[in-house]
Amino acid sequence: MIEKILIEYLSEYAPVPVFMEKPDSPPESYVLIEKTGSNRSNRIETAMIAAQSYAGSMAEAAELNRLVKDLILDSVSLDEIGGISLNSDYNFTDTSTKEYRYQAVFNITYYGG
C-alpha cells in the first residue's frame, strides 16, 4: 500500500507526525497523506498522492510543504518505488476552519503485490 510506504518513510525523516486521516486532537503541525487515484498494469501500479502540510501559520505551512516535497521526491530511493513526479503544489488553507495548509500532489509509480 503506497500510503503506508510513504507514511513510514516520512515518519522517519519529517519533523512532524504523519497520518492517513486527521486525528481528533491534531497537533499544530502535521502531514496528511491521501491517495486520490490509482491504476495498475502488469503488477506495476501508479497512484496520485496528495500530501497536505498543516502548520500554525501560512509561512510555516509553506516551509513544511517544501520539506515534504523534498522528502517524497527522495523516497524514490526505496525499492518499492519506481518513479515520482511532482504534479502540483499550492496553498490549500481550509477557510472553514482557518487552518493553514499546503497541498502537494505527486504521480508515483510503484511495485504492487
Instruction: Tally the domains of the chain.
Output: 1
Domain housing 87: 2-111
What is the rounded distance in angstroms from the CA atom of residue 13 to the CA atom of residue 74?
Answer: 11
Q: What is the CATH number of the domain that holds 93?
A: 3.30.2000.30
In this prediction the pTM is 0.93
CB 112 within 8 A of CB 43: yes
Summarised one tens digit per residue, pLDDT across range 78-103 is 999 999 999 999 999 988 988 999 99
Do 31 and 22 meet the contact criterion of CB atoms below 8 Å apart? no
Question: Which pLDDT belongs to residue 113?
Answer: 55
pLDDT tens for each residue of 42-84: 878 999 999 999 999 999 999 999 999 999 999 999 999 999 9
The one-letter amino acid code at 100 reads Y
